[in-house]
Structure 1
């Protein structure tokens, strides 16, 4: 494949004959210029050049001024793309991460080959197929662990809890990363389903989750959690909406240069009347916005949370030959009210990669029941909730690995313990242990307040405002954001982060989700609304609905 880039360009030049038939002289001319340029660089540049690299750079240049979703996918990137779209791959079933000189198992999936052979979070990968893995990167280890289903790989691990080394033979399987990682109950009669992405088969997972809940008890109301769901396959979104609305209902129509296509529900609904609340936030995008926005437009669900991301563009892949593909935007989608929620206009093809839709161009639409909704920038929830902010200090401790390192030690001391997923929390004594653990650790953290004061001080110095500089010095002296103070200020957040990591090790991802729901105010707000059916219905009645705010949130 060394000359694949050159051959691709030759194929493109041959294809220009078709364009010439359409009198597209400009395209044919530019393709000829491109192939001539590549030939000159390949034969005349002072140093030898890689034609594949030239092709990739040329392709990147072609789409640079388009939208960020249009890109060239060379052969080596297609496996990753297929995994993202399908949620499936051949391997042993675990997340991994770098820790020191080795890579460790960061999260074996429940009932995966890694899990069934006794591998646990924190176990170190010492060797693979007899070859030392010391110094290997995540990518190197991942490449060796992945492979065709039914093949085997020998992994030597040093177990975290016992410090014993063991060589295990793992049989690779087709690993399916769940798009619906959790379904459970918030209150009697109030179900909850978390949907994390729109990979192939997520409709079946969603249907299975609903049937599971209905098999366990009466489902009087359902919370669908689409927060932080970045979307995926459009057709899966249409089928999921079909679980809640009548067969034949229009969910979305796409419009592009190839024309218009309408997508309608194809099956009888599973829950045609059960009250729904959908949770969204600023990271709810694409197919997730199709589900949320359609249910809002059809007055089928109440949306709670924050304004969604605003991705109303549709992508498709086109083969280019030699296992290379072009992923390109082919159109915009429009949900049942007729609005497109795309937040960024990329039509100018400028260096800024798009501009926000101006407030003056935002248009009003109506839901099926007559409520006002707006286009031009994501989906505004029916009831806005303030987002929960995690302190940067707690995030810093986690990203530096201090939380995980402490939990490693905690698990060694409590290896035989069992926990109640819903109520578990470390004790005050445990947190005192954490403070001692952190005593000698350096935390490169600076609060936003201190950064702001530094910037003000520099500005005051530049403007020669001596008195103001003195007042800023006084404020800096009063500001307490040292490590020890922050460990107390953000104690609750740090404790909850530690709790989540411990629960994950006992009860996998589903257990951690169940544990975290108890302290989630947005889930609580959704449950309270569903427990009050008249209040839920009132939100959906046009005469009592407060118009959505078309203004963009900061």
Structure 2
């Protein structure tokens, strides 16, 4: 499976958190012999034997990333898990620029009028500057029905918002549908195996139809299941269309074709940016290659590689790169990213409403799917 690259720690502020708790109790030692054996056999590219032998538990994550920048190790369930709690139905990510919240459809933050990513400055009057994601989440989460006060600011805007929300348990949607100024926007942040394709198909069926364009927001889609992304691209293309090939170390490439799709849906625009990665890049790249969709935004992260996970004998989990994805012309996005057909400035891209104004959504601008500029 393709997973989100480690460009920041992202947690879900629903009922539970996902991610490893920083500052948790000491973790048990990993079975290094198993790790060396698995990586020596399957890691792509073949690892340096000296670096592999030098793996040590003292800095296992750092050592792993010398071999593979996307490799990781997670302790067995129950060793440092975060406690359950109610949240505000948002994704939290902390990066060097601060703490950020992405509201999820129908949740407390969305009902307060926020549809796009906002920066979180303080919780309950306490600044979150310098905190990691787990520390911030600990302030935001709490008992169901309790209140939490947030100080928020939209990217590039001076106005601050002091809002108080009720914490609640909520479920995220695999495909969210937002109406932004009369434009239908479908937001996908993760490609969940066995779920996201079905959700996208059902959502598209419920749309009015005709030639009204559909915008799929992938700006914060950091990955997920590779084969779900491939299957989703096939949903939007003629059956039999070549989608991509996947090659593991020492293996013959497996080529995938659309099996049950249709190219006759509405015009598509995909919003992408530096956080669009992995499975999301494969999905977007296939549709761009076949000119089924136009990409708008900034170049993507640049990781068309697949990762897999192995459960070790002690219950811990090893994640590592094991294959490369190539488009039908044998190109890959790894190291380069996807180049948008319609560039949108980095300053403008975080503002969904203003970004949509840059797209040729008017009827006289929708003929064909050729690349242009905005």
Q: Does 1:282 align with 2:274?
A: yes
Give the superposition deviation at 1:334: 0.8
Q: Alpha carbons of 1:206 and 1:323: their partners in 2 closer, same or farther (altered >3 Å)?
A: same
Alignment partners' CA distance in 2, 1:155 and 1:180: 26
Give the superposition deviation at 1:336: 2.5
Give the superposition deviation at 1:158: 8.1
Give the superposition deviation at 1:230: 2.0
SS in 1 for 2:276: coil
Q: Does 1:5 align with 2:5?
A: no
SS in 2 for 1:262: strand
Pick the structure with more helix per residue.
1
Question: 1:209: which partner in 2?
Answer: 203
After TM superposition, list the pairs within 5 Å mapping 1:152-301 onto structure 2.
175-184=170-179, 191-200=184-193, 201-214=195-208, 218-259=210-251, 260-269=253-262, 272-301=264-293
Alignment partners' CA distance in 2, 1:299 and 1:383: 13
TM-score by length of 2: 0.62
Q: Alpha carbons of 1:212 and 1:79: their partners in 2 closer, same or farther (altered >3 Å)?
A: farther
Residues 86 and 144 in structure 2, CA contact (< 8 A), matched pair in contact too? no
Residues 174 and 190 in structure 2, CA contact (< 8 A), matched pair in contact too? yes
Once the two structures are superposed, residues 11-47 of structure 1 have per-residue CA deviations (whole angstroms, 9 ceiling, x without a partner) of 679x79x99xxxxxx979x86x98xxxxxxxxxxxxx
Q: Alpha carbons of 1:313 and 1:213: their partners in 2 closer, same or farther (altered >3 Å)?
A: same
Q: Alpha carbons of 1:141 and 1:231: their partners in 2 closer, same or farther (altered >3 Å)?
A: same
Residues 303 and 382 in structure 1, CA contact (< 8 A), matched pair in contact too? yes
Question: 2:13: which partner in 1?
Answer: none
Once the two structures are superposed, residues 352-373 of structure 1 have per-residue CA deviations (whole angstroms, 9 ceiling, x without a partner) of xxxxxxxxxxxxxxxxxxxxxx
Give the superposition deviation at 1:316: 0.8
Give the superposition deviation at 1:111: 6.4
Residues 78 and 324 in structure 1, CA contact (< 8 A), matched pair in contact too? no
Give the gaps of 5 or more residues in structure 1.
20-25, 35-53, 84-88, 98-105, 116-120, 125-135, 146-152, 161-167, 344-376, 391-512, 547-554
SS in 1 for 2:207: helix
Q: Does 1:55 align with 2:57?
A: yes
Question: 2:303: which partner in 1?
Answer: 311
Residues 275 and 530 in structure 1, CA contact (< 8 A), matched pair in contact too? no
- Which of residues 356, 373, 378 is equivalent to 2:337? 378
Alignment partners' CA distance in 1, 2:285 and 2:188: 15
Q: Alpha carbons of 1:77 and 1:384: their partners in 2 closer, same or farther (altered >3 Å)?
A: farther
Q: Alpha carbons of 1:265 and 1:140: their partners in 2 closer, same or farther (altered >3 Å)?
A: same
Question: 1:466: which partner in 2?
Answer: none
Alignment partners' CA distance in 1, 2:285 and 2:27: 46
Give the superposition deviation at 1:76: 5.4
Question: 1:420: which partner in 2?
Answer: none
Q: Alpha carbons of 1:333 and 1:78: their partners in 2 closer, same or farther (altered >3 Å)?
A: farther
Residues 253 and 263 in structure 1, CA contact (< 8 A), matched pair in contact too? yes
Residues 105 and 177 in structure 2, CA contact (< 8 A), matched pair in contact too? no
RMSD across aligned positions (CA): 4.7
Once the two structures are superposed, residues 462-495 of structure 1 have per-residue CA deviations (whole angstroms, 9 ceiling, x without a partner) of xxxxxxxxxxxxxxxxxxxxxxxxxxxxxxxxxx
SS in 2 for 1:241: helix
Alignment partners' CA distance in 2, 1:9 and 1:239: 36
Alignment partners' CA distance in 2, 1:159 and 1:301: 40
Residues 89 and 172 in structure 2, CA contact (< 8 A), matched pair in contact too? no
Give the superposition deviation at 1:330: 0.7
Give the superposition deviation at 1:314: 1.2
Give the superposition deviation at 1:90: 6.4
Residues 217 and 272 in structure 2, CA contact (< 8 A), matched pair in contact too? yes
Question: 1:502: which partner in 2?
Answer: none
Give the superposition deviation at 1:523: 1.3
Question: 1:532: which partner in 2?
Answer: 365
Residues 105 and 176 in structure 2, CA contact (< 8 A), matched pair in contact too? no
Alignment partners' CA distance in 1, 2:178 and 2:363: 17
Larger radius of gyration: 1
Alignment partners' CA distance in 1, 2:61 and 2:79: 16
Question: 1:552: which partner in 2?
Answer: none
After TM superposition, list the pairs within 5 Å mapping 1:454-469 onto structure 2.
none
SS in 1 for 2:67: coil
After TM superposition, list the pairs within 5 Å mapping 1:468-479 onto structure 2.
none
What is the aligned length?
Answer: 297
Once the two structures are superposed, residues 503-552 of structure 1 have per-residue CA deviations (whole angstroms, 9 ceiling, x without a partner) of xxxxxxxxxx9xx654x1x3123243654233x34x26xxxx89xxxxxx
SS in 1 for 2:361: helix
Question: 1:435: which partner in 2?
Answer: none
Give the superposition deviation at 1:184: 3.1
